[in-house]
Structure 1
Amino acid sequence: MKIGILGTGEIGTTLARTFGARGHDVDVANSRGPETIGSAVREFGARAVTAEEAVQGKDVVILSVPFARVPDVAGLFAFVPEETVVIDTSNYFPQLGGPVDAVEQGQVESLWVAEQLGHPVVKAWNAALAGTLRTKGVPAGTPDRIALPVAADSGEARRVGMRLVDESGFDPYDAGVLADSWRQQPMTPAYCTELGLGELGPALAAADRTEAPRRRDRQMARLAALTFTPTLDQTVELNRSLHR
């Protein structure tokens, strides 16, 4: 599969390495140019290219840029065919990128992303911490495998997203249409809590759309007040504690 990845943060880097190692044809780009993409990103065969090259002629484009930066890359998608599957990994944190009026007024985050791009998107990999994606992916059938939700309006695009989530080491869960993807956003019960396949459905169903942004803001303040940097497992536990 021809995969383009926009963004070389922790998640973009992890996915570039993962899919390169699995034999996919992977191009990766950032906003600073291919010469700034280090060897660690390219270790398993991913190529450093320009942002324009990363979205051209691809079966899948993975958009792994900060939520607030989505409008900056929207122009790249003007000539991306509708059949290209675009996967959005972002999360909305107004404390980090500033408030987005439409989202503050109730628009679902990934519907806003799709509107900015002028292209349908799949929501995937947003409900896992970067450390989880990097260190806890295991083969299908492994006991206690972590599950991740995948949402999209197109059933075929959702199936592609689920296939790639499976290849990245996690059980994919069909989370339905994009309008329901708020159920996997910060800080819902399914968000970065490392649940198994049997637990993820009830967690998505238990999400409270009004309460989630309040929990998000409380959790951000809580993390900012810590006098130490929590480990991956401590962060997961802090997220789980919001829902007890």
Structure 2
Amino acid sequence: MQTIGILGAGKLGITLAQIATKAGYQVLIASSKDPQAITLTIEVLAPTAQAVTSATAIAKSDVLILAMPLSHYKQVNRQAVKGKIIIDAMNYWWEVDGNRPELLDKTISTSELVQAYFKESIVIKALNHMGYHDLADESLLSDTANPLKKAIAIAGNQRKSINVVKKIIQAFGFDTVVLATLHDGIRLQPGTPAFGANVAEAELRAMIATTIPGEFQLGQHN
């Protein structure tokens, strides 16, 4: 059993905790508050997950998911996550993150900025383009799942780590579409055809490939 740490106990973080526990993972979830502040919520909504401090979630997890506001990622101790696989499920929302020029550059993926900060970790962009309601409803682990399996896109630079994340997402009850580089994660961000997509693999591939026609290839390792 792998242990998944989730930083962020909002709607996305709790949804991912619910799915991950159903998939058989041990889940440690942390917020910016004391664990006791979210314990009751976790006990009710994701009863087999454990509310912990961020330090504990980082130290004891095999894979870490960032489900916090994007503007908060530099609050994470980058030495503590050295060597870990980090799934970046964050998106830039000015209403939450404020006006941050460094996050407005549409020529790079925000996950590249996250990777630049966590220099000694492996950042993989995933679980950001589908809304939390759809993640909860469309996972094949859900009682309400559509028989047509839906797909989640993954963008990263390291094949071995991408394969780890791919297995996790498949265990979550989704197909996967792998993009060739972390930079290509720009195709999964707000304002793109793929953002908000709740579709099967073939349709998601088409959405991604038509974002900037002629300048993109899907990864060969999916």
Matches of 1:63 and 1:102, distance apart in 2: 19
**What's 1:134 paired with?**
136
Tell which has more relative contact order, 1 or 2 (C-alpha 8 A, sep 6+): 2
| Preserved contact between residue 188 and residue 208 of structure 1 (Cα < 8 Å) | no
- After TM superposition, list the pairs within 5 Å mapping 1:96-115 onto structure 2: 96-105=96-105, 106-115=107-116
Matches of 2:148 and 2:158, distance apart in 1: 29
**What's 1:231 paired with?**
none
For 1:135, give the aligned amino acid: D
Q: Which blocks of at least 5 consecutive residues in structure 2 are unaligned? A: 214-222
**What's 1:94 paired with?**
94
Deviations 1:64-112, CA, capped at 9 Å, x for gaps = 1011111222x2x313231x21101001123431233233343321001
More helix by share: 1
**What's 1:69 paired with?**
72
DSSP 3-state at the match of 1:26: strand
**What's 2:59 paired with?**
56
**What's 2:203 paired with?**
199
Matches of 1:62 and 1:97, distance apart in 2: 18
Please give the TM-score of this superposition, normalised by the length of structure 2: 0.85
**What's 1:218 paired with?**
none
Please give the TM-score of this superposition, normalised by the length of structure 1: 0.77
For 2:135, give the aligned amino acid: L
- After TM superposition, list the pairs within 5 Å mapping 1:9-20 onto structure 2: 9-20=10-21
What value does the CA root-mean-square deviation take over the aligned residues?
1.9
| Preserved contact between residue 4 and residue 63 of structure 2 (Cα < 8 Å) | yes
Q: Which blocks of at least 5 consecutive residues in structure 1 are unaligned? A: 210-244
Query: How far 1:197 moved relative to its partner?
Result: 0.6
* Number of equivalent positions: 204
Matches of 1:104 and 1:22, distance apart in 2: 35
Query: 1:159–1:56: structure 2 CA closer, same or farther, 3 Å change rule?
Result: same
Matches of 2:97 and 2:103, distance apart in 1: 13
For 1:30, give the aligned amino acid: S
Query: How far 1:208 moved relative to its partner?
Result: 4.1
For 2:37, give the aligned amino acid: T
For 2:179, give the aligned amino acid: A
Bigger radius of gyration, 1 or 2?
1
Matches of 2:205 and 2:179, distance apart in 1: 8
Matches of 1:179 and 1:107, distance apart in 2: 6
Matches of 1:182 and 1:14, distance apart in 2: 24
Matches of 1:49 and 1:205, distance apart in 2: 40
Matches of 1:99 and 1:40, distance apart in 2: 31
Matches of 1:95 and 1:114, distance apart in 2: 23
| Preserved contact between residue 58 and residue 80 of structure 2 (Cα < 8 Å) | no
| Preserved contact between residue 17 and residue 41 of structure 1 (Cα < 8 Å) | no
DSSP 3-state at the match of 1:192: coil
